[in-house]
Amino acid sequence: MEKENALDALAALGQETRLDVFRLLVKAGKDGLTAGAVAEALDVLPNTLSTHLAALSRSGLVRAERDGRSICYRADLGTMQHLVTYLLQDCCGGNPELCAPIASLAGGCLPSGTR
């Protein structure tokens, strides 16, 4: 991940509603949620939510896919993984064992081959 992409992703997550949307979509998993379901779950006006979803989509943290007349939104965990990797790639002064507590937080949630 390039610095510019990291800044875009961090800026997108640096707003309360967008962070809530991203976390909700993470919980929804691969099935994702429609914009209406997200708006209802978070009690956000649809036009306001549209702006937040657009910012998350531009940053690559959220993917939209048309499903008939609806659009389904999903968290892009690959982008989040790249962001976290970018932030931690030089962590712990060359002592990766010091980062073990951070890595253990992901537990079994990371895709295989990414730990």
- Strands of the 33-34 sheet, one edge to the other: 33-34, 70-75, 62-67
Does the model's pTM come out above 0.85? no
φ/ψ (deg, to 5) at 57 = -65, -45
Q: What is the pLDDT of residue 91?
A: 72
Higher pLDDT, 65 or 112: 65
The amino acid present at 80, given as its one-letter code, is M
Fold adopted by 3-77: Arc Repressor Mutant, subunit A (1.10.10)
How far is residue 103's CA from residue 76's CA, in Å, rounded to a whole number? 19
Question: What digits encode the pLDDT tens for the residues 44-63?
Answer: 999 999 999 999 999 999 99
Q: What is the pLDDT of residue 110?
A: 47
Cα dihedral 74, 34, 53, 27 sign: negative
Q: What is the pLDDT of residue 113?
A: 43
